Amino acid sequence: MHKKSAFLLQSISFLLERPTLFALLKPYLWWLQWKNPFPTLAQFSYRITLENVLTLYGRKKPVVWASLFFPAEFIYALDGAPFYPEITAGLFSALGVGAIPLFHAESHFFSADLCSYHRLSVGASMLRFFPRPDFLCATSGICRETVPFFQTLAELFGVPLYLVDIPHEFSPKTVRYVASQLRSIAQNLKRDRRVTWDFERPFELAQKTQTVLQEIEALRRKKEVMILPPTKNLDYLPYYYQFMGSETSLSFFQKLRDELRQNPKNPLPHRLLWLHLKPFYSNFLSALLTELGLGIAFEEFAATYSGELKPKEPFQGLAEKITVMSHALMDEKARIARILQWVSEYQTEGVIQFNQWGCRQSQGMNALLRKTLRGEGVPVLFLDGDHIDRRHHTEEQWRTRLQAFAEMLGG
């Protein structure tokens, strides 16, 4: 690497590891609050992002990294600050700073074939761009890459990793098995880090948020309601996962619900179901969908867990949540059944999946998904590319395929 670039990267990581520096954000946050006491959704998101930067990099609380399907409620219950590297990889990509960590990982023998959510996160961790974790929590679902990815992170930072094994099968027995692992992690954390647990508040907030999410889902089932521009809801992923069980998620979804109720936008002519995530580094796809009249009625990753979380049996409820959500994506029959149910509930005319480069988890079942949906008369389109790494960006191919899909839908 060029000496100047290496010096610049080292300087950035040096500054990012100075918690006191982030205290400078406080007056600005206070000013934002004063200027916009009733923020719009975008203003709210901006403020929350900065507050989160202050909490994580300012080391206000123990920083706990987690894989996407490890429930944030568990981390809030120990008064930790959850950090989801896979979600932050999307944010880095959206901010246009994904290339540096991606190249850094590749130049340190992480294959370019490795999923870019993990490749970017490893690179950003090696460069110390991500906030240093106190410890890590991960589940073995939903893909096989997650465990080695978190083991690499534990090695890099020299911190403990608490792993939860998720069986492929879903049954009361497997839920008990997952609950016993969570219980044992909680006991270890209590012993090793003197953690005290309070599940009451995060569970109460998560339940309230679920109620609001169900109201949003009911609104989105109506033909006249649509979140625009298409795929915008996937930018809200942190509120579905990282902030679940906190005031942040509840306030955000209350705002989103009120906005959908009070300011309905003109929906696009076609209603579609979106599977997997999307390229975060460019708005091209969203603009193209708008141009072709292809609206998104619902997204697979916006599906949340609606079961009850009881503070008296915290590990049982959380285990059920993890197992239900993982099974619905890992098991092809369960995944396809859920997709067909959404097609009917959200009155969608077709389904689009944006394949992620190197993601065996989702693409492994593409043939079966295509066959089953077509058998039910549901048109399906698979777009290829990468959610994070813009080197696999193929605008012309997306345009050709989406145009043909829109023509097939007619109207």
Nearer to ligand SF4, 145 or 384 (CB): 145
Summarize the chain as % helix, strand, coil (round to 5): 60, 10, 30
**Is residue 157 a contact point for ligand SF4 (CB under 6 A)?**
no
- Collapse the DSSP code of 160 into the 3-class scheme (helix H, G, I; strand E, B; otherwise coil) and give the result: coil
Using CB under 6 A as the binding rule, whether residue 325 contacts ligand SF4 is answered as no
Is residue 357 part of the contact set for ligand SF4 (CB under 6 A)? Answer: no
Q: Does 115 bind ligand SF4 (CB under 6 A)?
A: yes
With a CB cutoff of 8 Å and minimum separation 6, the contacts of 68 are: 84, 86, 87, 142, 241
Whether 282 and 393 have beta carbons less than 8 Å apart is answered as: yes
Least separation in angstroms between residue 359's CB and ligand SF4 is 3
CA torsion sign, 327 to 137 to 45 to 306?
positive
Binding to ligand SF4 (CB under 6 A) within 236-295 occurs at none
Closest CA to 361 of 86, 83, 39, 12: 86
Residue 356 touches ligand SF4, criterion: CB under 6 A: yes
Using CB under 6 A as the binding rule, whether residue 16 contacts ligand SF4 is answered as: no
Q: Starting at the edge strand that comes first in sequence, how are the strands of the sheet with 294-299 ordered? A: 294-299, 270-275, 350-356, 380-385
The reply to whether 210 sits near ligand SF4 by the rule CB under 6 A is no
Residue number, 249 or 356, with CB nearest to ligand SF4: 356
How far apart, in whole angstroms, are the C-alpha atoms of residue 106 and residue 100? 10
Nearest residue (CB) to ligand SF4, 231 versus 248: 231
Query: Does a cis peptide bond (omega within 30 degrees of 0) precede residue 229?
Result: yes
Assign 271 to helix, strand or coil. Answer: strand
Identity of the residue, 242 or 362, whose beta carbon is nearer to ligand SF4 in the bound complex: 362
Which tokens go with 341?
A: 């149910």
Q: Give the Cβ contact number of residue 236 at 10 Å.
A: 20
Shortest distance (Å) from residue 63 CB to ligand SF4: 21
Question: Could you say which DSSP state residue 266 is in?
Answer: P
Question: At 186, which amino acid appears?
Answer: A
Pick one of 89, 102, 143, 256: the residue that binds ligand SF4 (CB under 6 A).
Answer: 143
For ligand SF4, the closer CB: 115 or 380: 115
- The single residue among 79, 134, 145, 345 that binds ligand SF4, judged by CB under 6 A, is 145
**Minimum separation from the CB atom of position 127 to ligand SF4 (A):** 20
User: Cβ of residue 229: shortest distance to ligand SF4, in angstroms?
Assistant: 23
Identity of the residue numbered 99: A
Name the residue with tokens 């399907």. Answer: 69
Among 142, 154, 175, 330, binds ligand SF4 (CB under 6 A): 142
Count CB neighbours of 219 within 10 A: 17
Lay out the site mask for ligand SF4 across 73-102 (x = CB under 6 A, - = otherwise).
Answer: -------------x----------------
Number of residues that bind ligand SF4 (CB under 6 A): 11
CB 307 within 8 A of CB 322: no
What is residue 272's three-state secondary structure? strand
In the list 153, 361, 372, 389, the residue contacting ligand SF4 (rule: CB under 6 A) is: 361
In whole angstroms, the minimum distance from the beta carbon of 356 to ligand SF4 comes to 4
Give least dist CB 362 to ligand SF4, A: 6
Instruction: Name the residues that contact ligand SF4, by CB under 6 A.
Output: 86, 115, 117-118, 142-143, 145, 356, 359, 361-362
